[in-house]
Amino acid sequence: MTETAQPTIPQPYPFSDPHRLDIDPRYARLRQEQPLTRIRMPFGEPAWLATRHADVRTVLGDPRFSRAASVGRDEPRNSPRQTDTGILQMDPPEHTRLRRLVAKAFTARRVEELRPRTRAVAEELVEAMVAAGPPADLVAHLATPLPIRVICDLLGVPVTDQDRFHTWSEAIVSTTSLPPEVAESYVEQLLGYMAGLIAQRRAAPTDDLIGAMVRARDEHADRLSEEEVVRLAAGLLAAGHETTVTQIPNMVYVLLTEPDGWERLRADQALVPTAVEELMRFIPLGATAAFPRYALEDVELGGELVRAGEPVVVSIHSANRDERVFADPDRLDLGREVNPHVGFGHGVHHCVGAQLARMELQVVLETLLRRTPGLRLAVPESELTWKSGLLVRGLTAMPVSW
């Protein structure tokens, strides 16, 4: 441990603008030479950056590191605005109290009950895409509507409102894609929309997740505030589709452009569940590190001393390429059997919808492999356009043929 090794000038971070799904080579060097390094993000105070798998898991899972401690601090971030991230800004026991409210809806058993309905939706969407004929935009025809319809069914949100809440949800993942005042307006509109749905459930109770949350609020008003229910429901609606909308075309893109991709999966479709885990490891979904944790006490980490009160951000995609954990980490191995990736996070903030996302991604790949086995890009790879100014990386459109 080197207590005096902190550079006087932290490195600017991110190291480079995201390019497609490339990973900056500096992460590999840092894992070898300086796994915990001082950085300065575009906004907020300086921070430590963790790049190794073990250190990332420690920051995400060790109670000595706190998300709640970011409240009231000028936390390191890529956006000029600081926003209330609700449950993502809580520690146990407050976090546990809210998470318990929705966790039952996302258990493996409940998700498996949703699989037949998700298959039917995927079949319907791919059927319409095939009927329209190539070239077709996979983002518009499949990747966007499927996760929206699934989360709407689960929560009890009218799918006819998708254009509105899909637009508002961009504020949740925006860093610079929206002006701060627009992002703030979108968040307020999303919260107002959800408050309206909650009022409807009070007048006419339902068996969906929003209905269950309203009942829990009304039965335990001393433990659950109205604002908490509204923010939690809005967060589930936004997070429940935004990342999967992005990850579906990312996965298909990788499968179509990596040497060991679509052909191998087409030849052995039993690999789909394993392939989804490997793609979650391999794809750097996050455009940058985010959501810092603050040390509550002095902690030795990555050969350095993180002092109480200092923030640490973690690089998920660096952790997922750590050669100490993954053999040949820069190679896509769809049959990788040992795969402790952190693509869904780790610790108390591990993605509550991870099982739902896994199921949706599996269903999409299975449906495409069965219905469009000859799937291929309909334009040169260089002509594909990518999103920018967001917390996540993804394609704006994906023209395909089959």
- Residue-wise pLDDT tens digits, 154-204: 999 999 999 899 999 988 888 888 898 998 999 999 999 999 999 999 999
Eight-state DSSP code of residue 142: I
Which of 313, 391, 386, 361 minimizes the C-alpha distance to 21? Answer: 386
CATH fold of 11-401 reads Cytochrome p450 (1.10.630)
Give yes or no for residue 82 having a pLDDT over 90.
no
- Residues above pLDDT 90, as percent of the chain: 80
Strand pairing category for 299-301 and 311-314: unpaired
Alpha-carbon torsion angle 292, 361, 353, 113, nearest 10:
-170
**pLDDT for position 8:** 60
Q: Pinpoint the alpha helices (H) of 52-93.
A: 53-61
Reply yes or no on whether the pLDDT at 5 is more than 60: no
**pLDDT for res 4:** 44
pLDDT band at 3 (very low <50, low <70, confident <90, very high): very low
Between residues 358 and 215, the one the model is more confident about? 358
Measured CA to CA in angstroms, residue 358 lies from 59, 161, 264, 365 at distances of 24, 25, 20, 11
Instruction: Please give the residue that has the higher pLDDT: either 105 or 308.
Output: 308
Percent of the chain surpassing pLDDT 70: 98
State both tokens at 400. Answer: 């395909």
Asked which of 220-229, 235-244, 306-315 is least confident by mean pLDDT, the reply is 220-229
Mean pLDDT, to the nearest integer, of 304-328? 98
Token output for 150: 């699934």
**Residue 282 and residue 146: Cα distance in Å, rounded?**
23
pTM over 0.85: yes
Question: pLDDT at residue 6 above 60?
Answer: no
> Two tokens at 252?
């298909």
* Residue 260 pLDDT class (50, 70, 90 cuts): confident
Give me the helices (H) in 220-353, please.
226-257, 262-267, 272-282, 316-319
β-strand partners of 386 = 395
What is the Cα–Cα distance from 388 to 225, expressed in whole angstroms? 36
Question: Amino acid identity, residue 33?
Answer: E
Distance CA 300, CA 295 (A): 10
- Return the H-helix or E-strand segment holding 353: none
Name the more confident of 180 and 295.
295
pLDDT confidence of residue 9: 84
- For the chain, what is the mean pLDDT? 93
- CA separation for the pair 152, 154 (Å, rounded): 5
**Phi and psi angles of residue 10, each rounded to the nearest 5 degrees, phi first:** -60, 150
Closest residue by Cα to residue 193 from 145, 147, 221, 157: 157
CA count, 13 A, side-chain hemisphere, 34: 12
Structural contact between residues 282 and 20, judged by C-beta atoms closer than 8 angstroms:
no
Could you tell me the residue ranges of all domains in the chain?
A: 11-401
- Burial group, residue 253, by CB count within 10 angstroms (0-12, 13-18, 19+): buried
Q: What's the N-to-C CA distance of the chain in angstroms?
A: 55
| 128-143 mean pLDDT | 96
∠ at Cα 356 (276, 95), nearest 5°? 120
pLDDT at position 29: 97
